[in-house]
Structure 1
Amino acid sequence: MLGFQPYETFQLLIETGGVDRTNTLLIAACDAYTRRGKPTHPEMEQFEALATRLFPIAGPQARAKGAAILGRAEVLSPTLEQLVVENIGEDLISFLSGAVDLSEATMLDIIGRYDVAAASTIATRADLSNVVLAKLFQMNSRKVYRALAANLHIVPRGAYLSALARSAQMDHIVAESLAKRDDFDAALLAPAFFDLSDQDRIKVIHAFTHRETPVAPIRKTIEQLTVATQDLTKALMKLFSENRRPEVTRLLSQITGLDEVRCGQIAHDVTGASLFVILRAFGSTAYDGLKVLIHATSHDTERSRALADYATLFGNVTPESMAYLMSAWRGEVNLLELAKPEYRPFIERRRQQNSVSATNNPVVDQAIEALARIGVKRAS
């Protein structure tokens, strides 16, 4: 069999030899099977019978070495696969990640052991069945959820979408992975907004473009304020122009109801993303809002492009949607409502780098430059 003596000879050697001979036979047989490539069905059956005899009586080191060699075979039956998993020891992770095929039974067996390292490796595979996915999502493990969030072969929908969205609220690494995906609704990352990169924060705001949202609880607070929007933007512009960010923190805390720590993050956010949400939620127009952002942000060479992006966003997102985003920061809404048909975007979201049509618009660029020149004068 497989270039060795007939199967009966192996049986005789096993019965008359000691452990050392069994160890040698096991490693040699596993190596021969792996080199065979794709064996015939009779060959696989014979080797399976041989392996099930050799593995239990071989020494620990020989079992681990034989399993590691066997794990590289082109084809494994469920029985052989189980022998590899049971005996491979420390090389289990490399086997799970590198195996071309892995049976559902083996995956479920490993997940059932609650081996987090092995389960998270399985979660990276492309050949996961719905049964395996359901078991993985039931595991209460950040490591497993991080692997699931980064696995582009898993379509985030239904219960999987809900589970990933909830996990993103508790784990910034999950949130970062989901933000990089084009098939995940970035609006669901609103609670993790302040854990995201500058670029991904803008992506969350873009997700509310041309989109209806449920009524936000904070809308009542905004409507009850006696301060006019123009007075608010003028006050913020003056404070930012004089770099009085602690006072901005206190002002934001008074008008938004957000805690002072969060308002401090907004006041010191030099990208302007979180401040844009506040300004638009309170009804600021592009003309007034950009005057505030010019003084609050620091973009250097990217200044004009970033401000042009905000200029477009002022026209594409409604105050109601940004109020909803603020309510998400306060934990007042169920973001999964956004998955309902009536709250989905009216148009497909374009990639962020292609979504700012105003970037190359000379009219917008000139307007931003003019606002930058008159901003300080208007603030005083």
Structure 2
Amino acid sequence: MLGFQPYETFQLLIDGGGVDRTNTLLIAACDAYVRRGKPTVPEMEQFEVLAARLFPAAGPHARAKGAAILARAELLTPDLESLVAAYLGDDLVAWLGTAENLSERTMLDLLSRQDADVAAALAARPDPTNIVLAKLFQVNSRKVYRALAANTSIALRGAYLSALARSAQMDHIVAEELSTRADFDAALLAPAFFDLSDAARLKVIRAFSSRETPAAPIKRTIEQISVANAELTKALMKLFSENRRPEVTRLFSQITGLDEVRCGQIAHDTSGAALFVVLRAFGCNAEDGLKVLIHATSHDQDRSKALAEFVTLFGTIPQDSMAYLMSAWRGEVNLLELVRPEYQPFTQESKRTPVAAPAPARNPAIDQAIEALARIGTRRAG
């Protein structure tokens, strides 16, 4: 078989030889199988029987070497996969990441080991079956959920979507991975907002563009306070220009109903994303909101591009949606309601409408403010 004729010769050598001869036979047989390329069904069946006898009888080093050779085979049966998985040792995780094909039986056998590294390697594969996925989502491991979040071959819907959205609230790496996926609704990352990068925070906000949202409990708080926009923006401009962020924290705590820790995060977020959410929730328009953002955002680099982005967001983000986002920060809403059809964005991408929608009208006064800010350059607020 496979270059060693006749097959009975192997049986005689195994029966009459010691461990050293078994070691030699195992490595030779595995090498011959791999060189065969695509063996016939009878050849695979014969080799399965032979390998099943050689691997247990060989020494530890020969088993590991034989498994490493066999792992390179173009075609393995589930039984041969099991032998590789059993004896490959420390190289198992690497093999799971590179193996072109892996049977469902082997994946389920490996998951029964309850090894987080092995499960994470399986979660990163492009071919897990629904049964395997169901088992993977039951594994209580951050490694596994991070791999699942990054695996674009997994369709995010139903229970899988819910599980990853919940995981994102507890693991910022899962949240960041999901924020990069085009098939994931970034609005579901609202509870993890403050754990995300600046770019991901803006993506969460953009996910609420031209979109209806369920009623936000915090909306009642905003309506009861009835803060005048002009007074609010004037107070915030003064506090931010004098770098009195602790006082901004206390002011937000009084008017938003958010806890002081969250308000402190908003006040010290120099990207301006969290502050935008509050300003828009209170109904600020682009002209008033930008005056505050100019004083509140970082002065370490040219900000004209970032501020221009906020101008666009003021024109496309509904006030109620930012109130909803603030309620999500307090854990008062079920974000999975957003997947319902009535809460999907108004404008959906379509192959029939390749022309991009026109940008919202720009205010010349705002453009002049952005240009003036760009010329000012780096300065200290105070």
Q: Which range, TM-score by smaller chain?
A: over 0.9
> Partners of 1:327 and 1:355 in 2: how far apart?
30
Q: CA deviation at 1:304?
A: 1.4
Cα pair 2:304 2:374 within 8 Å, conserved? no
Tell me, yes or no, if the aligned pair for 1:277 and 1:322 is still in contact at 8 Å. Answer: yes
Q: Which amino acid aligns with 1:227?
A: V
Deviations 1:96-120 (A, max 9, x none): 1111100000001111221111010
**CA separation in 2, counterparts of 1:254 and 1:356?**
39
Residue deviations 1:47-99 (CA, integer Å, cap 9, x gap): 11111111111112211111111111000011111111112121211221111
Deviation of residue 170 (structure 1)?
A: 0.2
Would you say the 8 A contact 1:299–1:306 is kept in 2?
A: no
How many Å separate the matches in 2 of 1:215 and 1:339?
A: 15
Contact 2:48 2:80 in 1 (8 A): yes
Query: Does residue 37 of the first structure (1) align with residue 31 of the second (2)?
Result: no
Inter-partner Cα distance in structure 2 for 1:16 and 1:257: 83
The Cα of 1:363 is off from its aligned counterpart by: 7.3
Note the residue ranges of structure 1 that are not aligned, 5 or more in a row: 374-380
Query: Which residue in the other structure is 2:8 paired with?
Result: 8
Partner of 2:153: 153
- Partner amino acid, structure 2, of 1:34: V
After superposition, the Cα gap between the structure-2 partners of 1:89 and 1:320, relative to the gap in structure 1 and judged at 3 Å, is same
Q: Deviations over 1:143-190 (max 9, x none)?
A: 100000001111111111101000000000000000011110000000
Q: Which residue of 1 aligns with 2:211?
A: 211
Instruction: Name structure 2 gaps, 5 residues minimum.
Output: 351-355, 376-382
| Contact 1:198 1:271 survives alignment (8 Å) | yes
Question: 1:366 is matched with which residue?
Answer: 368
Label 1:173 to 1:356 Cα distance change in 2 as closer, same or farther (>3 A): farther
Name the counterpart of 2:229.
229
Which deviates the most, 3-12 or 362-371? Answer: 362-371
Q: Deviations over 1:117-148 (max 9, x none)?
A: 10100111111111111110111111100000
Amino acid at match of 2:310: Y
The answer to whether the aligner puts 1:346 opposite 2:338 as a matched pair is no
Partners in 2 of 1:222 and 1:349 — Cα distance?
Answer: 33
Letter in 2 for 1:108: L
Quick check: which one's helix share is greater?
1
Question: Is the 2:304–2:373 contact (alpha carbons within 8 Å) kept by the matching residues of 1?
Answer: no
CA distance in 1, matches of 2:271, 2:325: 17
Shift of 1:348: 3.1
TM-superposed deviation, 1:367: 4.9
Please say if residues 315 and 360 of structure 2, whose CA atoms lie closer than 8 Å, have aligned partners that are also in contact. no
Q: Secondary structure at the match of 1:342?
A: helix
| 8 Å contact kept, 2:303–2:374 | no
Closer/same/farther in 2, CA of residues 360 and 100 from structure 1, 3 Å limit: farther
* 1:164-183 superposed matches below 5 A: 164-183=164-183
- Where do residues 1-380 of structure 1 align in structure 2 (5 Å cutoff)? 1-298=1-298, 301-348=301-348, 357=359, 365-369=367-371
In 2, distance between residues paired with 1:53 and 1:132? 29
Judge conservation of contact 1:309–1:358 (CA < 8 Å) in 2: no
Q: Which amino acid aligns with 1:267?
A: A
TM-score by length of 1: 0.93
Counterparts of 1:318 and 1:96, CA distance in 2: 47
Deviating 4+ runs (over 6 angstroms): 358-363, 370-373
1:325-374 CA distance string (max 9 Å, x none): 00001111110000111111111379xxx99957999775225346899x
Instruction: Report if aligned partners of 1:358, 1:364 keep a CA contact under 8 Å in 2.
Output: no
Assess if the C-alpha contact under 8 Å between 1:33 and 1:73 holds in 2.
yes
Aligned letter for 2:89? G
Q: 1:365 is aligned with what amino acid?
A: D
- 8 A Cα contact 1:294 1:372, kept in partner: no
CA distance in 2, matches of 1:31, 1:371: 69
| Equivalent in the alignment of 1:376 | none
**How many angstroms apart in 2 are the aligned matches of 1:319 and 1:307?**
19
Q: 1:359/1:93 Cα in 2 relative to 1: closer, same or farther (>3 Å)?
A: farther
Give the C-alpha shift of residue 226 in structure 1: 3.9
Residue identity (%): 73
TM-score, normalized by length of structure 2? 0.92
Q: Is the 8 A contact 1:282 1:319 kept in 2?
A: yes
Worse-superposed segment, 35-44 or 317-326: 35-44
Contact 1:2–1:32 (Cα < 8 Å) also in 2: yes
